């Protein structure tokens, strides 16, 4: 699913940037983080559906989710969540001690993120902080600790990227959200959405350039950043915030953004 890719790709960026010059990324780590992304994205969805089961019943797009539809009980979902988190812990325990503690620190964000839409019009920002933790964790898994001059700009770029794609995603549900009282950046920005998305995109590109400079990246990397800029510009320019199908299409296309950057990192490293 698109969401799993969007969780996984920041991990690949970090693992790729941490590789030694002239070397390919650690394929073992890429595989391990791939499994972890599937498990943690699944756990996040389970937690989200547990918090939102009453809201989901009132939204056409989410009414068929198992908890909202009554197909499974809350207890069964707890058991399933326990299985997901136990398997994810097994993956985490394969990493070094620094990364184990760093990874465990993200759990509070995973649990509390679904509540944010009740509290603030910026739940997408909290999602960005949660979804891009791999930008820190991938580097530490390879190097044993974080190089903050690289990891923080990379993390910030990921957060800005999430604000772009999840604001687009939120425009799908804005009519239902108004009725049931759920908040989002889509409702906050309204008709100014494209200007905000442009600002987030610019911040993302500048952060990627800073991360690249701080780890001596080369021409292919910056070419990929330029291609990402063009992709985001096209997304924003052609976006129709009042058409849910178009919002979904633009949201899902962000997988291409993440893959472009990973390819740029690998080629730049080589």
The 3-state DSSP class for residue 113 equals helix
Contact between residue 161 and residue 204 where contact means Cβ atoms under 8 Å apart: yes
pLDDT for res 219: 97
pLDDT level of residue 59 (50, 70, 90 thresholds) = confident
pTM for the whole structure? 0.93
Position with higher pLDDT, 202 vs 111: 202
Reported as half-sphere exposure (CB side, CA atoms, 13 A), residue 160 has a value of: 22
Distance CA 250, CA 247 (A): 5
Contact between residue 6 and residue 255 where contact means Cβ atoms under 8 Å apart: yes
Q: Average pLDDT over the chain, rounded to whole?
A: 95
Instruction: Please state the rounded mean pLDDT for residues 33-50.
Output: 94
Distance between start and end Cα atoms, the chain: 30
- The residues near 152 (Cβ < 8 Å, ≥ 6 apart) are none
Alpha-carbon 31 to chain mean position: 18
Contact between residue 126 and residue 13 where contact means Cβ atoms under 8 Å apart: no
Q: Which CATH architecture has domain 2-269?
A: Orthogonal Bundle (1.10)
pLDDT for res 104: 93
- The residues near 236 (Cβ < 8 Å, ≥ 6 apart) are 164, 194, 197, 198, 201
- pLDDT at residue 43 above 90? yes
Q: What residues does each domain of the chain span?
A: 2-269
- pLDDT at residue 180 above 90? no
Distance CA 264, CA 193 (A): 29
- pLDDT at residue 60 above 80? no
- pLDDT at residue 61 above 80? no
Instruction: Please state the rounded mean pLDDT for residues 125-132.
Output: 96
Distance CA 206, CA 208 (A): 5
Distance CA 129, CA 162 (A): 9
- pLDDT at residue 252 above 90? yes
């Amino acid at each position: 699913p698109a969401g799993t890719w969007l969780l996984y790709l920041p991990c690949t960026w970090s693992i790729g940037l941490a590789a030694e010059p002239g070397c390919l990324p650690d394929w073992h780590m890429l595989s391990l983080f791939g499994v972890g992304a599937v498990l943690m994205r699944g756990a996040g969805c389970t937690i989200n559906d547990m918090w939102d089961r009453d809201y989901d019943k009132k939204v056409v797009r989410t009414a068929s989710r198992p908890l909202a539809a009554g197909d499974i009980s809350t207890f069964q979902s707890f058991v399933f969540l326990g299985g997901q988190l136990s398997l994810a812990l097994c993956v985490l325990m394969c990493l070094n001690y620094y990364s184990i503690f760093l990874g465990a620190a993200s759990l509070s964000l995973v649990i509390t993120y679904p509540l944010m839409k009740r509290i603030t019009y910026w739940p997408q920002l909290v999602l960005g902080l949660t979804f891009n933790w791999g930008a820190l964790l991938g580097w530490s898994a390879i190097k044993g600790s974080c190089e903050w001059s690289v990891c923080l700009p990379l993390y910030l770029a990921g957060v800005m990227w999430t604000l772009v794609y999840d604001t687009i995603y939120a425009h799908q549900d804005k009519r239902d959200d108004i009725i049931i009282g759920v908040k989002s950046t889509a409702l906050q920005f309204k008709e100014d959405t494209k200007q905000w998305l442009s600002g987030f995109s610019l911040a993302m590109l500048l952060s990627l350039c800073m991360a690249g400079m701080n780890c001596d990246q080369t021409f292919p990397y910056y070419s990929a950043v330029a291609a990402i800029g063009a992709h985001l510009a096209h997304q924003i320019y052609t976006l129709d915030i009042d058409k849910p199908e178009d919002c979904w299409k633009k949201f899902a296309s962000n997988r291409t953004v993440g893959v472009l950057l990973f390819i740029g990192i690998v080629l730049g490293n080589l």
